[in-house]
Structure 1
Amino acid sequence: MSSGWGAPDEAPTRLVLLRHGQTPMSVERRFAGRGDIPLTDAGHAQAAAVAHRLASWPIDVVVSSPLARARDTAAHAAEVLGLPVEVDEGFVETDFGDWEGMTFAEARELAPDDVDRWLADTGTGPPGGESFAAVAARVGAARHALVERHRGRTVLVVSHVTPIKIVVQQAMLAPLSALYRMHLDTACLTEVDCFADGPMVVRSLNDTAHLA
């Protein structure tokens, strides 16, 4: 793998990573993993706003997590761009197991030792759920396959907090614990370039200019 300031060998595959719009769970800051929750009216408005912004971007492909909140956000962009939506299971959110629908405080009250282990070790998942290490392996494989399918193109990927953070973490060659040091708003944009000779470059993070 090359690194540093060397010139890339070809145009990168650009991933435009879009977190889905607002949901009832995001408003209340609850664990929202595999539950198929809808967008709020405000979430649809956010999705329409980002779609309007992306209308002038050179997007070639639209990819979405299979969950409704991501697919509904992707549908707004796909309509404006005149593109179909390709569903990719690899970009689904973390399975939060027994904590699904809970706030962090509720999970800690229910199982403080489990929460402490989860925070201390990215290889430990919530009871009945998925560890961040497992999500990282899944997302890394999905990202690699996506870049192979659409090499040199600009791909809009509509996903969730954890998968988007993981793409950034892997691009930065940061430890997985870096996930705890990132914040992503609903309907934010993050851009990552993936070069054929190995490196990834983060171009932007948590861009919400379209929501101003």
Structure 2
Amino acid sequence: MRIDSVPGRGAAGADAPAARPGSTTLVLLRHGETALTPQGRISGSGGSDPALSETGLRQAEAAARRLAERGGVRAVVSSPLRRAQQTAEAAGRHLGLEVQVDEGLVEADFGAWEGLTFAEVRERHPDDLAAWRASPDVAPGGTGETFSAVARRSALARDRLLARYPGQTVLVVSHVGVLRTLLRLALGAPAASLFRMELSAASLSAVAHDGDGSGSVRFLNDTSHLEDHH
């Protein structure tokens, strides 16, 4: 397994600044769409484990081609859930790399909210939704995983990658909750910022980490590779 730094293009298409020499870059790829994505249905780790839809498979291929064109990635690490694995496998094929799995990258469990839309949650459980949005220590759906817990395991997964691939570039294929958390931690932003980031299906973002562990967001929610692949 090998790794380098990767120049990127931002969400607006402008060249993103190159990471500083010696930094470890985590390129963050959200999985492609499933049948639930266009409906806005909550799909965590506590419900069904949906596969990518035909659109999601096309999105995964488009992201993989972009990453191969960009070059520099030396490892692919994925959540164990099927939609992330399928997205990672497309990248691995184009990059010539075997997909590694890190359980810490799995999506949050949303408890009783799994399969609902947020509009349905707001209608049926307005107080619970308000409490969850107000505090990272509140479990969604009563029995789900708090964002505080997601932050702890996401940070541990990040630290494993930084220790294993120093000075290299790693593709991290995961879910919106975990990837937003990694971006939030890099920014040193409060938990409420999780609700203020857009991470589209099959989007690319990147965080560069210096040797002291401090993070710098290099680009966010790049979907330019999907423009001709709807």
2:123, 2:63 → 1: CA distance? 37
1:66, 1:90 → 2: CA distance? 9
Counterpart for residue 93 of structure 1: 107
Superposed structure 1 runs of 4+ greater than 3 Å apart? none
Residue 33 of structure 1, aligned match among 41, 44, 48? 44
What's the CA shift for 1:122?
1.3
Residue 19 of structure 1, aligned match among 7, 24, 30? 30
Matches within 5 A, 1:1-212: 11-34=22-45, 35-56=48-69, 57-126=71-140, 127-212=142-227
Using the size of structure 2 for normalisation, the TM-score is 0.86
What's the CA shift for 1:192?
0.4
Q: Which runs of 5+ in 1 are unaligned?
A: 1-7
What's the CA shift for 1:9?
9.2
2:66, 2:188 → 1: CA distance? 30
Using the size of structure 1 for normalisation, the TM-score is 0.93
What's the CA shift for 1:10?
5.6
Partner SS for 2:208: strand
Preserved CA contact (<8 Å) 1:140 1:167: yes
Q: Which amino acid aligns with 2:213?
A: G
Q: Which runs of 5+ in 2 are unaligned?
A: 1-18
What's the CA shift for 1:150?
1.1
2:212, 2:134 → 1: CA distance? 34
Counterpart for residue 14 of structure 2: none
Cα RMSD (Å): 1.3
What's the CA shift for 1:117?
1.0
Partner SS for 1:101: coil
Number of equivalenced pairs: 205
Preserved CA contact (<8 Å) 1:21 1:43: yes
What's the CA shift for 1:110?
2.5
Partner SS for 2:89: helix
Partner SS for 2:83: helix
